[in-house]
Amino acid sequence: MKNLSIKSSFALFTLFCAVTFGQVAGAQTVKVDPGIPSYSKVTGVSGNINSVGSDTMNNLMTFWCEGFAKFYPNVKCQIEGKGSSTAPPALIEGTSQFGPMSRQMKSKEVDAFEKVADYKPTAVPTSIDALAVYVNKDNPVKCLSIKQVDAIFSKNRKCGGESNISIWGEAGIGGNWANKPISIYGRNSASGTYGYFKKKALCKGDYKDTVKEQPGSSAVVQGITEDLQGIGYSGIGYKTSGVRAIAIAKNVNGCFEPSLKNVIGKKYPLGRYLYLYVNKKPNEALDPLRLEFLKYILSKQGQEMVIKDGYLPLPAAKVSELRALIGAN
């Protein structure tokens, strides 16, 4: 079973015309594609769902499990979110049935799985995230370019920034902010968000030693909430009233906020899939518990949970492709 590549996966954005966007009292409204089927209960589903992996997807997994349990009250869930890098070993060792990851598996992780199983793991994209750059709600900065973001977070400036940025005046803020030092927050290396941000926002450069590494996405946001001069990154689903997600410019064409519409239009440069990995033997059906849980995620109800958690739901065309991938009728 082949994994879906990031390059091919982002082709889905051009297909996503079925999602409705509107302006209601200045707020963006997102709806589930009407072509996605509702979930229907079946017989023979029981047991425990064990999930080990992404912290970014902790809330999503909880919402999905709660929704699934309404159909199957005897199904119990155990969710552990310590970072995407914990998902592959748990799948290999059989201590989890699901491996949520906010990035694709690295080739060495796929190879380690295949060495044991003799086949590759199956990647199921579940939703789309706009990885946001957050500042304190009282910080006046409105937009940063990728070069500026890189110069703030990275010691190498591989994205092309001319000089290091360590105070807010160097990021274009004047007045009382000009000489205030920038306080940087990020994730630890076990996080898929850490790896994705390193690749996309730092052009594969190295993080500065001054980054305050946090164990979870909510901890990053909380740190910035309590630090007037703070800046950090986390999934858009973790946005709170204490922080602002700033606009990002990937080139000279202007700044774009991390809205769902801008992610779809590929204007915002930090859009990504959120994956659920499973151990599925080629040409063999999944057991009822895993199959029905995935079907629930890829249903109207499951994608409504995606919106509830602040992420972007999948288009019906992609859901149809993924249902075939997992062997759903």
Interatomic CA distance for residues 261 and 157, integer angstroms: 29
Residue-by-residue DSSP string for 140-188: ---EEEHHHHHHHHBSS-TT--SS---BGGGGT--GGGTTPBPEEEEE-
Interatomic CA distance for residues 203 and 179, integer angstroms: 27
Cβ(250)–Cβ(270) below 8 Å: no
- Long-range contacts at 323-328 (CB < 8 A, ≥ 24 apart): 323/295, 323/298, 325/1, 325/122, 325/124, 326/122, 326/124, 326/278, 326/280, 326/286, 326/291, 326/294, 326/295, 326/298, 327/280, 327/285, 327/286, 327/291, 328/291, 328/294, 328/295, 328/298
Cβ(328)–Cβ(294) below 8 Å: yes
Q: Which residues does residue 154 pair with via DSSP β-bridges, in sequence order?
A: 207
Cβ(240)–Cβ(64) below 8 Å: no
Show pLDDT as tens, one digit a residue, over the chain (329 residues): 434 333 333 333 333 333 333 322 223 478 899 999 999 999 999 999 999 999 999 999 999 999 999 999 999 999 999 999 999 999 999 999 999 999 999 999 999 999 999 999 999 999 999 999 999 999 999 999 999 999 999 999 999 999 999 999 999 999 999 999 999 999 999 899 999 999 999 999 999 999 999 999 999 999 999 999 999 999 998 999 999 999 999 876 689 999 878 887 889 999 999 999 999 999 999 999 999 999 999 999 999 999 999 898 998 999 999 999 999 97
Could you give the domains of the chain? 6-128+274-326 (3.40.190.10), 130-271 (3.40.190.10)
